[in-house]
Structure 1
């Protein structure tokens, strides 16, 4: 009987994917429990990778079609922070290279904090250009949150070092921006460019709110990022609004 490979050798080959189709088929016939556990784990991982690859291709369809039409620099634009009681609304504009590949990228809300931070660094490293824009609480109170979001988006586009020739926006239109554009409902889950912008904006805003939280620890901004949690509302009742609170929002308005 031919000596069988040890489980540790099999594990190494599967981990490095250094094997032939014939070898993999032979492993499927290996009745050892440890081998079958390794094989099942490997096959599940490959299935997961395949689904993420398919998802990435699906989310790249808008960009792929635009590249085929001759556009070269497509900026995805998204916002974070329209709903909170405090803090700025933050937007990001992201131009990705045509060969960008990051399976698993999705709208920031569907990712864990760890995933967002990991993807944030990948996007920062590989993006052609990234622009950040914001509108603070005073601007939100003056213009209203919808118009302030548009202003922040324009600022993020203006901050790009590479001028985009097309914009993909998450459920918004920027009439004041003279660039061809498309508004996509739930675009952060349908376009890799918008998804990248949502991740950048989310991580940037969370960092801002953590810094504000250090200045005003009683509101726990580092935890609630400005949303009206129970602890936040209790602090608002006790201490009143900070300069970062949106006084046009209820219930902040009643404490001004």
Structure 2
């Protein structure tokens, strides 16, 4: 029996570079993982990886545009009719890069819709089941960018800061029902997101120079932290923001 046997976990954006290894690790530990993603190629890669590791029966993938509130609400309702979901991992995000003055208000609204409002809707939908069970885990995935040092990402940084504050508010409100809420702030992991940086060689040097640990982070580093925080072992940890960044940001 795996550590997460019997657990149902909803994971947004889980088919991406950091989400895929964590999804597989959760399934290997016995969890049923429900993935909401909007990238067909990445979805197929996740499905193929699950087949290869004989984990397909534990994986459910739904292609959802998180800006479509009606579609998201219907999707969540359908999954909840099949049974309660005890864990939410709010990971999906978009990260357009350009100077602040070049963003339109419509672009600000879209970034907020994907990065923040989807998390609001998911937690609102899953909360009754967690409350009734007297147990729940909510993880918001924030970013090292909230600590400063990055230009041309202001709407994204704003959205990731909102997730930290939401986690603190939810942690205070939901703790009495045995629900913990925490945030993970990944450092600079090698993913498609790095393609927005024009000088890749300089970017790589900056990362290694900034970190105390002189190697690039691996998706497994984030997966281990994530799995600990959603485990029963972390039942007395809530309202926290854990940096998984090789010692770049220290508190």
TM-score by length of 1: 0.25
- Report the structure number with the largest CA radius of gyration: 1
Greater RCO structure (CA 8 Å; 6+ sep): 1
